[in-house]
């Protein structure tokens, strides 16, 4: 989870217009884990959702592994 936070901060720094959505996805991820979801699965889902956001604005999301 710590690495996810670091990576999401990097995304927000690079794409500040996505800040609200990225923060929302992080909160969703935390909530899902607290409700019993698999941390690995939820983190992977969050990363994919953020990649999709980046792709949706026409930017290359390959840096965000």
Instruction: Report d(CA 39, CA 62) in Å as an integer.
Output: 22
pLDDT the model gives residue 64: 79
pLDDT the model gives residue 13: 96
Q: What backbone torsions phi and psi does residue 57 show, to the nearest 5 degrees?
A: -95, 10
SS3 37: coil
pLDDT the model gives residue 65: 72
pTM of the predicted structure, to 2 decimals: 0.91
pLDDT, tens digit (0-9, with 9 covering 90-100), for 28-61: 999 999 999 999 999 999 999 999 999 999 999 9
Buried/exposed 16-43: b ≥16 CB within 10 Å, e otherwise: eebeebbeebbeebbebbeeeeeeeebb
pLDDT, tens digit (0-9, with 9 covering 90-100), for 2-35: 999 999 999 999 999 999 999 999 999 999 999 9
Instruction: Report d(CA 54, CA 21) in Å as an integer.
Output: 11
């Amino acid at each position: 989870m710590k690495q996810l936070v670091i990576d999401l901060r990097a995304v927000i720094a690079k794409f500040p217009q996505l800040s609200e959505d990225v923060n929302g996805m992080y909160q969703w991820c935390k909530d899902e884990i607290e409700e019993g979801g698999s941390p690995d699965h939820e983190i992977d889902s969050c990363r994919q959702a953020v990649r999709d956001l980046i792709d949706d604005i026409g930017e290359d999301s390959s840096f965000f592994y």
